[in-house]
Amino acid sequence: MDISAQTDEQLAALAAREASDGPAFQELLARYQDRVWRICYRLLSDAHDASDAAQEVFVRLFLSRAKFQGRSKYSTWVHGVAVRTCLTIRRGRTRRRQREAAAAQQTRETDEKPQGESTAELSLDLNQILNTLEDDDRALLIMKYAEGHNYDELATIFDLSISACKMRVARARQKLKERFPELDFGKGDD
């Protein structure tokens, strides 16, 4: 049987029965390594931290490989583990407060600029903008718009109802619109 021809869900069932990191888990690791790192990087904004977090995600996946029950796609379950791991890491950092203070300072400086300046001069780094949000809201927006998850998948990842996800995404977008009125955040897709 060609292990690479198996679906993620089939591999997860095989990995759950493996005594160690056998071929099924190794195949899942190969399939998800880049995606997990990308999510970690987007949530943590640092390549080194993302690598450490991705390694932690795969340790957690290995240790809980028998817990996947197939209620969602395997990719959604993996992304949920990645998001929760990164949120735990972000919450534990003291640098978080420093970034928020820097972003708030940037906002104050932007608000104090004369009216005649161009939009290019007012541009802010997307990371600075997102760092003004609470970690959960930031993660929701990243998973929704950068990773392309739908509300059903977000509900699974964040352990919320679909309506709660829609509400939190809308509120996070509204916060950004209020904090950065000079930027166009487009229309929501609700």
pLDDT band of 121, cuts 50, 70, 90 = very low
More confident residue, 65 or 108: 65
Q: For 161-182, what is each residue's pLDDT tens digit? A: 999 999 999 999 999 999 888 8
- Taking all residues of the chain, what is their mean pLDDT, rounded to a whole number? 85
Find where tokens 């541009």 sit: 123
Residue range(s) of every CATH 1.10.1740.10 domain in the chain: 3-92
pLDDT over 80 at 3, yes or no? yes
Residue 187: other Cβ atoms inside 10 A? 7
Residue range(s) of every CATH 1.10.10.10 domain in the chain: 105-179
What does pTM read for this prediction? 0.73
Given this model, what pLDDT does residue 109 score? 64
Percent of the chain with pLDDT over 90: 57
Q: Note whether 171 and 137 are within 8 A (CB).
A: yes
How does 40-76 read in b/e, with b if 16+ C-beta sit within 10 Å? bbbbbbeeebbeebbebbbeebeeebeebeeebebeb
Query: What is the dotted CATH code of the domain comprising 105-179?
Result: 1.10.10.10
What would the mean pLDDT of 24-52 be, rounded to a whole number? 94
Distance CA 2, CA 52 (A): 31
Given this model, what pLDDT does residue 97 score? 59
How does 81-99 read in b/e, with b if 16+ C-beta sit within 10 Å? bbbbbbbebbeeeeeeeeb
Decide which of 3.90.1150.10, 3.40.109.10, 1.10.1740.10, 1.20.1250.20 is the CATH code for 3-92.
1.10.1740.10
Measured CA to CA in angstroms, residue 1 lies from 10, 22, 177 at distances of 12, 15, 53
What would the mean pLDDT of 127-148 be, rounded to a whole number? 90
Find where tokens 């399939």 sit: 31
Distance CA 76, CA 155 (A): 10
Given this model, what pLDDT does residue 91 score? 82
Burial group, residue 186, by CB count within 10 angstroms (0-12, 13-18, 19+): exposed
Which structure tokens are listed for 90?
């972000």
pLDDT over 70 at 123, yes or no? no
Angle between helices 23-44 and 47-63 (to 10 degrees): 140
